[in-house]
Structure 1
Amino acid sequence: MKPPSTSDRRVLSLFPFLLAYLLFIGTARLVKENFRLIKDQGGNAKPLSNLTNGGSLIDGCDLFDGKWVLDGGTRPLYEEESCPYLTQQVTCGTNGRPDSLYQNWRWEPHACKLPRFDAVKLLEILRGKRLMFIGDSIQRTQWQSMVCLIQSVIPPGKKSMHRNPPMKIFRAEEFNASIEFYWAPFIVESNSDHFKKHSVLKRLVKLDSISKHSRRWEGVDIMVFESYVWWMYKPIINATIGSLDNVKEYDVTNAYELALKTWANWIESNINPHTQKIFFMSLSPTHLWSWEWKAGSNENCFNESYPIQDPSYWGTGSSRDMMGIVRDTLQDLAINVTLLNITQLSEFRKDGHTSVYTERRGKLLTSEQRSDPNSYADCIHWCLPGVPDTWNEILYAYLLHDFPLH
């Protein structure tokens, strides 16, 4: 069993002290390292954006290498009140956030331009297709973002939302297209798979079991997978291989690797690369400790209004081991899976989290709770409109490239 690195072990030891906080936000990603690059097997530094089975460049341009530009003319891409599908968890403005600057930043790659998001073009690409986001609450936010980005161009009566737990399905009727979310925080099966009752203290992951989930994925045209923060709840995790009676404690990095191998086996056995397209999202950063970007401070993402300007900034929440496992898994696949490397660009956005302008157990934080951001600020989830819209703009660029309209 592969032991955790020294830096991983140091941060994972903080988990007992953060348990109450983690239960509130439902999930966490707390691995302390300062690495922007992953070492390849030859020991050479290689940017994560290049570490995909088929490469992540579009016509030679790295969409993930760029900067945030303030753009009040084209941002936000939609308004909170114009999208009835947003949940209370992510509507920071409606929930009382006094500033709105977090909605006005546009991601600008250094070597090229992102195509302007066109909802009608995307719907044409998705005509007769199913687009499914698979993962945890971070992935659910990206799904909500995508629904909001396209729903305004669909006439009333021609769109619908259906709930088929653990799925949510938005349909564009005239295009025979659906944008779906499937709850699977570990990708493989676990005792946290219930769409509501998933905040269990003793998590159990079935490292070699995926069929319960995957039968819902069969035949889906475009899939976007994501799984990370739920693995980082504690430095070890209870897991099984084979018999459910044989429960053992696994180091999370080893368990994650085994789970992704199970996922990879399913991909290779079930995906038709000529008709289906698969993406894997890199980890979504947290901004739990302000000393990372403001030396000597002892706060978090609360009351932040501007992105981090240091182009080399890399927070303490990104595990080199876990990111390396994703890299190796994708590179070893016989089928092309594209990595959407949103980690670095999202690292800069300490201002984009829901902070205290969100809910807890289905209820908005009280004024008393909001006055204690060190205890109650959620610096893991993101406001909408906001950062996840950019993730979807990049996904749109890939879809436009892979499914050209004639």
Structure 2
Amino acid sequence: MKLHAINEGKAQVLTRRSTSSKILAHLIALTLILTILPLYYPYIRYILEKPTPLASHSNDLLHVQSTTTLSRQHPVYRGHLLPATRENEAGQKVVAKRGKGKRGRREVVLKPPGGGGNKSCDLYSGEWVENPKGAYYTNETCWAIQEHQNCMKFGRPDQDFLKWRWKPNDCELQEFDPVEFLEMVRGKSLAFVGDSVARNHMQSLICLLSRVAYPNDVSNSSDLNFKQYEYPEYNFTMSIFWSPYLVNTERTDRRDITQPFKLYLDEFDESWTSKIEDFNYVIISAGQWFFRPTMFYSGRHVIGCLYCSESNIRHRSSTFSYRRAWRTAFRAINSLKNFKGIVFLRSFVPSHFEGGRWDKGGDCVRTRPFKSNESVMEDYSLEMYKTQLQEYKFGEREARKKGIKVALMDMTQVMQLRPDGHPSRYGHLPSQNVTMANDCVHWCLPGPIDTWNDFLMELMKREDGRGLANSLVCID
């Protein structure tokens, strides 16, 4: 009896200790939750309030329906269990897979998904795959969309162009996360410098960020080509500066933008070259303006022209001025004494006029992306791209000698496959008399250009290692 009582007493003590331990563990867990939850509240709120696919809107907007098909994704993203993995002698994770025919079992190296600074994955080789989630904003929810990009407002009848995402062949490209991006650029600054396609990109970024935050207009100008926006909660500013030719330019007729421009191909455009030294990131690009009538100067002497009527001036190609402009732009960057950032070159993005030139009835009426084997660059687009890459290689080599980092943001092939993403005739009311009736240069918002910010986040993470970005300039 005494032994039984002793054992029963010990059991009660152990039970009380176990109960106390459980209570203590629960209190610790509760304390941690109450401590951590406030820190992540903005992100949790974003996840809970994350917009659903676009629903029907007012009469002047499209009714967007979600599709039911879903492209094949990496199994970990679909909640499937991966086969058992192990590490090989090189430290790579491998998985055993059944081979075909007599090949038996074989081991395949697993490549991690993108979105975490994975430098081994080629982001630019891939396909556009279906994305039933569609766009995450509309022209009702984002005020930054200009009229000529407002395809939904002006009655574009199809909506499938909103239902695609870029899928690299060997990894996943993370979808743009506005909360993560704003944390990356907290206390920093971002600028786009260039033409209307650069502005198009900036407006896309503002619209994506509008899912969680809205900026204040702190500009000193009412001109849309020189704007500055501030996100006070993050001490983050975003600016745009106009420089479509990258070099110093002058109009031959101040009142008529269609008249030839004078391009001083050996002179810096100080509207951006004098302002980037304090920034940590630069995205530089240029393109469509180089097909306009222009007079070329070097040393303040005429050395040629494009689409000019003078018979005593040597007629040059677009690639002539394009090459010289890039060479001067890199010379400007590499001459900066205190620049400690990184330069991303965004490559030439083609237009998609079919059935004629832009001024001869050409249009872009496709409603689906091309597959990678259905479209190739040719003619002037290919020449512009090759010229740009050649100058990039020279500029990057010189920059490396000076300790300046330069990298490529290669959007050319990615956007070559998106003939369906332009406003076409849906950038204005049908009754409006406009100079360019069919716009196959700019991009609808929302639309494929939103994916540029997926790439932007990934490239910033790759270059920063841990995804901590500083300030950014984009020159187009």
Match of 1:261 in 2: 327
Identify the match of residue 276 of structure 1 among 306, 319, 341: 341
The one-letter code sitting in structure 2 at the alignment partner of 1:265 is R
Q: Structure 2 vs 1, CA of residues 126 and 282 (structure 1 numbering), >3 Å: closer, same or farther? A: same
Matched, 1:205 2:263: yes
Question: TM-score scaled by structure 2?
Answer: 0.63
Which 5+ residue runs of structure 1 have no aligned equivalent?
1-56, 293-297
CA distance in 2, matches of 1:113, 1:102: 20
CA distance in 1, matches of 2:405, 2:421: 32
1:97-130 residue CA offsets vs partner (Å, 9 max, x unmatched): 1222111111111110011211111111112222
SS in 2 for 1:69: strand
Match of 1:150 in 2: 209
The one-letter code sitting in structure 1 at the alignment partner of 2:304 is E
Question: TM-score scaled by structure 1?
Answer: 0.73
Match of 1:123 in 2: 182
Match of 1:287 in 2: 352
Identify the match of residue 296 of structure 2 among 239, 244, 253: 239
SS in 1 for 2:455: helix
Matched, 1:394 2:455: yes
RMSD of aligned residue pairs (Cα, Å): 2.9
1:211-262 residue CA offsets vs partner (Å, 9 max, x unmatched): 422123331222222111111225xx3122223xx23314232222222121
Q: Structure 2 vs 1, CA of residues 321 and 348 (structure 1 numbering), >3 Å: closer, same or farther? A: closer
CA distance in 1, matches of 2:178, 2:187: 15
1:351 deviates by 0.9
Which 5+ residue runs of structure 2 have no aligned equivalent?
1-116, 306-315, 469-476
Match of 1:352 in 2: 421
Runs of 4+ in structure 1 off by over 6 angstroms are none
Match of 1:179 in 2: 238
CA distance in 1, matches of 2:255, 2:190: 25
Match of 1:67 in 2: 127
Q: Structure 2 vs 1, CA of residues 271 and 111 (structure 1 numbering), >3 Å: closer, same or farther? A: farther
Conservation of the 8 A alpha-carbon contact between 2:354 and 2:363: yes
CA distance in 2, matches of 1:60, 1:260: 28
CA distance in 1, matches of 2:430, 2:195: 22
Total equivalences in the alignment? 328
Matched, 1:379 2:440: yes
1:272 deviates by 5.3
The one-letter code sitting in structure 1 at the alignment partner of 2:172 is K
Match of 1:326 in 2: 388
By relative contact order (CA 8 Å, sep 6+), the higher-ranking structure is 1
Give matches, 1:31-70, under 5 Å: 58-70=118-130
Percent of residue pairs bearing the same amino acid type:
28
Conservation of the 8 A alpha-carbon contact between 2:251 and 2:260: no
SS in 1 for 2:368: coil
1:183-203 residue CA offsets vs partner (Å, 9 max, x unmatched): 110011212699x96723112
CA distance in 2, matches of 1:218, 1:267: 9
The one-letter code sitting in structure 2 at the alignment partner of 1:344 is Q
CA distance in 2, matches of 1:178, 1:189: 26
Matched, 1:338 2:407: yes
Conservation of the 8 A alpha-carbon contact between 2:350 and 2:381: no
Conservation of the 8 A alpha-carbon contact between 2:281 and 2:341: yes
CA distance in 2, matches of 1:239, 1:160: 37
The one-letter code sitting in structure 1 at the alignment partner of 2:450 is D
SS in 1 for 2:304: strand
Match of 1:95 in 2: 154
SS in 2 for 1:319: helix
SS in 2 for 1:353: coil
Identify the match of residue 82 of structure 1 among 141, 159, 169: 141
